[in-house]
C-alpha cells in the first residue's frame, strides 16, 4: 500500500495498482478536494473512525446496471400501493446521519466518521452528492445517498427503520432515473443488493465506464 502525502492530492493509478485486498492507499485527509478526486478515479474511503484512513478500489467491483434491476412481486405491490412517499435531496443531512447511527446486524459501530459526514454534506451543497428519502406518515424511515459522476452513481450507504424502506427507495431511484444513469456503483457485495440485480464486474471495466463519464463532465 502507498502512504499518501497530506499536502498533495494524488493516488496510485487503480488501473495499474491492485493493492492489498482492494486497499490501494492509506493516510492523507478527508478534504472535499481529495474525496471528490478519489471518486472520480474509482476510489473510495472506508475505515474505522479513529484509525488510519484507508482508500479502496476493489477488483472485481460490485455494480448494478439499471436495465438489470430485479423487482420481486411483493416489492412491486408495495411500490404500487404507495406504502412509502419517496423524495430526493430533501434532507441529505438527516439521511447520512441515520446511515451513521443505524444499528446493523453483525456490525459494531460505524465507518462514517463525523469528518467524513461533513465532507459528504459539503459535496451535497455543491451539487455533487444526492440523497433519496423514504417517508411513512411524515416520518423519515429510510433512505440512501451517494456521489454522482456523470451517468455513474456511486452509492455510499442506506438505512431502513421499517421493513423494505431502503429497498423501496433504491428501486424508485433506479426506475425514475433509468435513462439518466449508465451504472450504479455498489462498491462491495451484499446479498441485499445482489437480490436486486447487482453483480461483479472486472475493475478495468468499471473504470472504463467511470472514465468515460468523467470525460463528459
Cβ neighbourhood burial of 91 (10 Å; 0-12, 13-18, 19+): middle
The backbone torsions φ and ψ at residue 38, rounded to the nearest 5 degrees and listed phi first, read: -60, -50
- The residue-averaged pLDDT of 53-67 equals 96
- The cell for 47 is 475505515
The pLDDT of 151-172, averaged and rounded, is 96
pLDDT of residue 108: 45
- The C-alpha cell at 178 is 433509468
pLDDT at 109 over 50: no
DSSP string, 111-180: S--HHHHHHHHHHHHTTSEEEEEEEETTEEEEEEEEEEETTEEEEEEEEESSTTHHHHHHHHHHHHTTTT
Are 69 and 63 contacting, i.e. CB atoms less than 8 angstroms apart? no
> In whole angstroms, what is the distance from residue 154 CA to residue 56 CA?
13
C-alpha grid cell for residue 159? 438505512
Q: Which of 46, 29, 9 is nearest to 188 (CA)?
A: 46
Instruction: Say if residue 200's pLDDT is above 60.
Output: yes
| pLDDT value, residue 6 | 87
Query: Is the model's pLDDT at 19 over the cut of 80?
Result: no
Rounded mean pLDDT of 105-129? Answer: 84
Q: Are strands 152-160 and 183-187 parallel, antiparallel or unpaired?
A: parallel
Q: Indicate whether 217 pLDDT > 70.
A: no
Q: What is the average pLDDT score of the chain?
A: 93
User: Buried (b) or exposed (e) across 115-125, using 16+ Cβ within 10 A?
Assistant: ebbebbbebbe
Please tell me which residue, 107 or 33, carries the higher pLDDT value.
Answer: 33
Structure confidence by residue, pLDDT tens digits, 64-94: 999 999 999 999 999 999 999 999 999 999 9
What is the percentage of the chain residues whose pLDDT exceeds 90? 84
Amino acid at each position: 500500500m502507498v502512504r499518501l502525502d497530506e499536502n498533495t492530492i494524488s493516488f496510485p493509478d487503480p488501473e495499474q495498482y491492485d493493492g492489498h485486498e482492494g486497499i490501494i492507499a492509506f493516510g492523507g485527509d478527508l478534504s472535499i478536494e481529495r474525496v471528490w478526486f478519489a471518486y472520480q478515479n474509482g476510489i473510495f474511503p472506508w475505515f474505522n473512525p479513529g484509525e488510519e484512513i484507508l482508500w479502496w478500489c476493489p477488483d472485481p467491483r460490485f455494480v448494478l446496471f439499471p436495465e438489470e434491476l430485479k423487482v420481486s412481486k411483493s416489492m412491486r405491490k408495495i411500490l404500487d400501493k404507495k406504502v412509502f412517499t419517496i423524495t430526493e435531496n430533501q434532507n441529505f443531512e438527516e439521511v447520512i446521519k441515520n446511515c451513521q447511527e443505524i444499528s446493523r446486524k453483525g456490525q459494531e459501530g460505524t465507518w462514517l466518521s463525523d469528518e467524513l459526514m461533513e465532507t459528504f454534506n459539503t459535496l451535497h451543497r455543491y451539487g455533487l452528492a444526492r440523497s433519496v428519502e423514504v417517508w411513512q406518515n411524515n416520518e423519515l424511515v429510510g433512505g440512501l445517498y451517494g456521489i454522482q459522476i456523470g451517468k455513474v452513481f456511486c452509492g455510499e450507504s442506506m438505512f431502513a427503520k421499517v421493513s423494505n424502506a431502503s429497498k423501496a427507495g433504491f428501486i424508485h431511484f433506479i426506475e425514475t432515473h433509468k435513462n439518466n444513469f449508465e451504472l450504479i456503483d455498489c462498491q462491495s457485495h451484499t446479498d441485499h443488493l445482489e437480490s436486486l440485480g447487482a453483480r461483479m464486474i472486472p475493475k478495468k471495466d468499471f473504470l472504463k465506464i467511470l472514465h468515460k463519464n468523467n470525460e463528459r463532465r
